Amino acid sequence: MNRSVLTMLGIAFSASIQLGARQLTQAVWVYPQPGSDPVADAAGRRLMVDRSAASDVTDLYVSVYQSTPNTSGRLMYPDSSISDLIENAHRKHIKIWAAYGAPDWPSLGSFPMQRMAEVKAYNSANPHAQFDGVVLDVEPGEPQTASEFQNLLALYECVRNNLPQRGGARIGLAVAIRFFWDTAVPFPAAGGPQKKVYEHIIDMELDHVIVMGYRDTAGAACSSNGIVCLDQDEMAYADQKAENNMILVGLETSNCESGCGLHVSFYADGQNALLQQAFLVSQYFRGSRAFGGFAIHRYGDAYLSGTTGWPANDTDK
């Protein structure tokens, strides 16, 4: 489907999707793929940035953790690889976020804060190719107890407080949350107000909260179990708190049917279906000041892969 057809249908993704004067975010998660690493490989970095730019991607959420220290002593890709990626992306007006997180992060003590210290150290050592932010995807096993949710909230708060929030050294912070984190818990645990977990998270005034209401239809009616229904409570609360552009709608494109179930991913439906349903979501939330755009999971697994049903960019047929 070429751009003229997309425009005719009113389907224009991310930087092309505008609600009035508002330009929406189109973020894409990036992880190493079997046989391909879009961070370690120079050609892979350039290909990813070129495909992202051609598809109006505004932000890349790049997993940068490596278990072996680099020459700077950081558990990251080499500084040269990261800086090359960031410089190329910034030239095309794409932000790069360091993506971190694992289910056990709330129980790992100092480990998460050491990773945040490395992001700050990297930025200090590479002033012309700095990370724009950190994005956390921490999904402990379900069901979580009240104390486990409080530990998760404490992790988010600690990370936020450890990243510089002002001036030229500022590092943004975004978090991905499950759509059903609506258990009411007090936070702080000792004497804090009792609110739903997602309300506490939105109260932290993060750059973005990505709601992983992964479904393959917009489905405004809750009987349809679609994206809008799963995301609307978080959107409404962020609107109530006057949080501009905070909530990003998560879209799944991975081949995960055996693990995540039917009607969760767009993998089998193809890119045209994703574009169409994203347009419907954007129209439903167009009156919401909190609606900030989309976060697509994930690069190369299907989206921008150049495979059948998933062209290398949004303008390809």
- Least confident stretch, 35-49, 76-90, 145-159: 35-49
Q: Tell me the pLDDT band of 257, cut-offs 50, 70 and 90.
A: confident
Task: Give the residue carrying structure tokens 């190493």.
Answer: 32
Residue 177 structure tokens? 């949350």
| 3-class DSSP state of 131 | coil
33-43 average pLDDT score: 88
Alpha-carbon span 213 to 178, nearest angstrom: 7
Inter-residue contact 233 to 241 (CB < 8 Å): no
- How much is the average pLDDT of 111-136? 98
Radius of gyration over alpha carbons of the chain, in Å? Answer: 19
Of the listed ranges 58-67, 146-155, 196-205, 260-269, the least confidently predicted one is 260-269
pLDDT > 50? residue 173: yes
pLDDT at 2 over 50: no
One-character DSSP codes across 190-212: TTPPEEEHHHHHHHT--SEEEEE
- pTM of full prediction above 0.75: yes
Contact 84, 99 (CB under 8 A): no
Contact 82, 128 (CB under 8 A): no
For a pLDDT cut of 70, what percent of the chain falls above it?
92
Average pLDDT over residues 23-38: 90
User: Are the C-beta atoms of 84 and 45 separated by less than 8 Å?
Assistant: yes
Separation between Cα atoms, residue 308 and residue 173, nearest integer Å: 35
**More confident position, 21 or 306:** 306
The SS3 call for residue 55 is: coil
Residue 276's SS3 state is helix
Q: How many residues belong to the chain?
A: 317
Backbone CA torsion sign across 251, 253, 254, 255 = positive
